[in-house]
């Protein structure tokens, strides 16, 4: 399970005295296990994505004036890099477009009322490896 991998990697980071990695993994583990002591991989993945989004939003707000601002921004960037390795390989936009086109053909043509069905098919086929925001944009462009 992903949560076990996070815990193991945190232990390794602590042994290696990698405070940045240890700290961000501790935050993710605490957030993921807040309501369920052994969350499933989808729940843990969702927590990682939320944490990454929060880091990126914070980075956008940080004043990068040296020396303190630059150091804060760099620390946030290191935290984001630590978490990125736990995300699944995302499906390419071209593959997503091809899948959506195939779904429209199977449903008998483009119909905005069937957008939810196409989104459901994407979620079922690709799970968390598809960026649903991009999928929604592609469908709306169709």
3-state SS, one letter per residue, for 32-56? HCCCCCCCCHHHHHHHHHHHHHHHH
pLDDT in tens for each of the 142 residues of the chain? Answer: 899 999 999 999 999 999 999 999 999 999 999 999 999 998 999 999 999 999 999 998 888 778 888 888 899 999 999 999 998 888 999 999 999 999 988 888 777 788 888 999 999 999 878 888 899 898 888 7
Q: What is the rounded distance in angstroms from the CA atom of residue 95 to the CA atom of residue 30? A: 35
Radius of gyration of the chain (CA): 19
| Single pTM value for the model | 0.72
CA-wise closest residue to 91 among 118, 51, 44, 123: 123
Contacts of 16 (CB under 8 A, 6+ apart): none
Instruction: Give me the domains of the chain, ranges plus CATH numbers.
Output: 2-84 (1.10.1510.10), 93-141 (1.10.10)
């Amino acid at each position: 399970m992903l949560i076990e991998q996070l815990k193991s990697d945190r232990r390794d980071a602590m042994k290696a005295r990698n405070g940045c990695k240890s700290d961000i993994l501790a935050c993710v583990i605490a957030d993921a296990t807040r309501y369920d002591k052994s969350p499933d991989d989808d729940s843990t993945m969702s927590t990682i994505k939320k944490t990454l989004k929060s880091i990126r939003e914070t980075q956008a707000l940080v004043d990068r004036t040296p020396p303190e601002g630059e150091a804060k921004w760099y620390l946030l960037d290191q935290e984001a890099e630590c978490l990125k390795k736990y995300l699944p390989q995302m499906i390419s936009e071209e593959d997503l477009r091809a899948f959506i086109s195939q779904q429209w053909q199977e449903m008998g043509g483009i119909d905005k009322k069937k957008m939810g069905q196409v989104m459901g098919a994407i979620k079922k086929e690709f799970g968390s490896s598809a960026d649903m925001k991009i999928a929604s944009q592609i469908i709306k462009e169709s």
